[in-house]
Amino acid sequence: MGTPDELRLMVRKRQSPRRMLHTLGVESVAVCLAQRWGADTDDARNAALLHDVTKEAPDQLNLMEEYDILPCIWQETVPNVYHALTGAAFAERLGYNSDVVSAVRWHVTGHAGMTLLEKIIYLADLAEPCRNGIPGLSELRGNLYKDHDRALLLGLRMSLRYVRERGRPEDRCSAEALRWIAERNPSLACGDEYRE
């Protein structure tokens, strides 16, 4: 662990310029959201910078073996989530606290019972400025600073729709997270808004 500049430099060595631009966008949004919602800004910054640190690694399964990630975990997870598992293990090995590690772990799918920091990193990853052309993104961005639970519900719906429309395998944690946030906030999920 080191300063934010040292962490950015370390991450930059592991990412393409395009991925790094995304990461810096996530960092910017995450810090703003942490300030808005009262989360630890250092944790938000660190988790944002680390969220995709292993995404471009050539062999996620070898990384899982290196980080002792149990087969039962990765077998229950779809391939586009592997980098969240390896990134969390990487962050843990660097000595980051469990809040940061958990936010990296859940930034792709979310899960039932998300913490505020997990929500922030999940939402910052979806809403960072370089993303565009995704149906529902403007509504999501419009809710980030008004109601993080509503933004989470919109983000989970948007992500599930994206995965389903492309015929990709769906991680069960996303659907569980959507049910959880909708049950926790019935007024957000009324009418036809709650469509998995």
pLDDT, one tens digit per residue, over 84-118 is: 999 999 999 999 999 999 999 999 999 999 999 99
Residue 186 is predicted with a pLDDT of 79
Show Cβ contacts of residue 5 under 8 Å, excluding neighbours closer than 6 positions. Answer: none
Structure tokens at 51: 């969220």
Residue 171 is predicted with a pLDDT of 83
Cα(77)–Cα(83) distance, integer angstroms: 11
Q: Rounded mean pLDDT of 156-183?
A: 90
- pLDDT grade for 194, boundaries at 50, 70 and 90: very low
pTM: 0.91
Alpha helices in 76-115 (DSSP H): 82-94, 98-105
Structural domains of the chain in order of their starting residue, each with its CATH number: 4-193 (1.10.3210.10)
Cα(40)–Cα(80) distance, integer angstroms: 28
Residue 164 is predicted with a pLDDT of 87
